[in-house]
Amino acid sequence: MSESPIEVVENAGIVRLTINRPKALNALNSEILTELESVLADLERRDDLRAVLITGDGEKAFVAGADIAEMRDKTPEQARAFARQALRTIKRLETLPVPVVALVNGFCLGGGCELALACDWAVASDNAIFGQPEVGLGVIPGFGGTQRLPRRVGPAMAIDLCITGRKIDAQEALRIGLVNRVMPQAELEAYAEELTKQLSGNGPEAVRSAKQAIHDGMDQDLDSALALETSLFALCFAGEEQSEGMSAFVEKRKPNF
C-alpha cells in the first residue's frame, strides 16, 4: 500500500477505495476525511463511474471509529466542526449516483459503522464486529449513527446498540439487516470481483436510475414516489440502453452497454 490515506484503484468505472491507516485500525482522522472528501468530489463529476466499493486496509479492521486521540482535547466548537466535516464527507459517499458497497473486513465501530450505514449495502467478513460504542467514551455517535442506524435496523435495535454500546458479530449484523451478506474474509475479494462483473453487465444509466428512484422515493409519500418511479422508467426509453438491452434479449445475445 502507498502512503496515501485513501487508496484508489479502478477497473472499468468500478472504483475501489481503501482507507489506509491500518496501524490505527483505519480510525477516521481529519486527514483521512479531507482526502476522502476530495476523492469523492472527483468521483461525483464522472459520467463513466459505475460503482464504488469501500473497504479498510489490512485484515483486522474496516474502520474502528473516529480517531479518539484526535478528538480527546477538542472543544465543543471543534467537535462540531469535526462532525460536520465527517457528515459532509459521508453524505457525498451516500449520494454518489452509482451503487456504493461497503466491504467490511473486520472491526466496524463508531464512525466506521456510520460510514458503512451510508453505503447502499454492506457485505461483511465473518470476523467483522459492529457497534456504536461511543457512550463508553462519554459521547454519542456523531457521524450520523443516531439517524441512519434506526432507519436501517429500526429504532428499538438502534437504541439498544447506541445505549448499551454493545458490540455484535457479523451474524447478528446480518440478522438485524445491518449487512446483506456474510462470508469468510478470504472470499471478500472474490465477491468484489463477481460484483464488478455483474455490474458491468447491467445498463449503467438504468443502475443510476434505480438508485435514484429508491433514494429519492424513500423521502416521499408512496404515491409521489411511485410517480417518480414512472418518470424514471419512462426516461429509460429515451436513451440507447433500453433499445440495446431489449434487442439483445430478443436477438439472444449479450447486451453491449
Residues within the interface to ligand CAA (CB under 6 A): 24-25, 27, 64-69, 107, 109-111, 114, 133-134, 137, 141-143, 145
Instruction: Give yes or no: 70 in active site.
Output: no
Residue placing its CB nearer to ligand CAA in the complex, 67 or 241: 67
Burial label for 245, CB within 10 Å (0-12, 13-18, 19+), is middle
In the complex, minimum distance from the CB of residue 176 to ligand CAA, in angstroms, rounded to a whole number: 19
Closest approach, Cβ 42 to ligand CAA, in A, equals: 25
Shortest distance (Å) from residue 63 CB to ligand CAA: 8
Question: Per the residue annotation, which of 35, 37, 134, 241 is the catalytic one?
Answer: 134
Q: Could you tell me the three cell numbers for 204?
A: 449503467
Give min distance, CB of 102 to ligand CAA, in A: 16
Nearer to ligand CAA, 29 or 209 (CB): 29
DSSP structure string for the chain? --S-SEEEEEETTEEEEEE--GGGTT-B-HHHHHHHHHHHHHHHT-TT--EEEEEESSSSEEE--B-HHHHTT--HHHHHHHHHHHHHHHHHHHT-SS-EEEEE-SEEETHHHHHHHTSSEEEEETT-EEE-GGGGGTS---SSHHHHHHHHH-HHHHHHHHHH---EEHHHHHHTTS-SEEE-HHHHHHHHHHHHHHHHTS-HHHHHHHHHHHHHHHTS-HHHHHHHHHHHHHHHTTSHHHHHHHHHHHTTS----
Task: Compute the least distance from the CB of residue 26 to ligand CAA, in Å.
Answer: 8
Nearer to ligand CAA, 6 or 51 (CB): 6
Q: Residue 147 or residue 230: which is nearer to ligand CAA going by CB?
A: 147
Residue closer to ligand CAA, measured from CB, 10 or 94:
94
| Catalytic-role residue among 114, 229, 241, 244 | 114
Specify whether 205 is catalytic: no
Catalytic residues, by residue number, are 114, 134
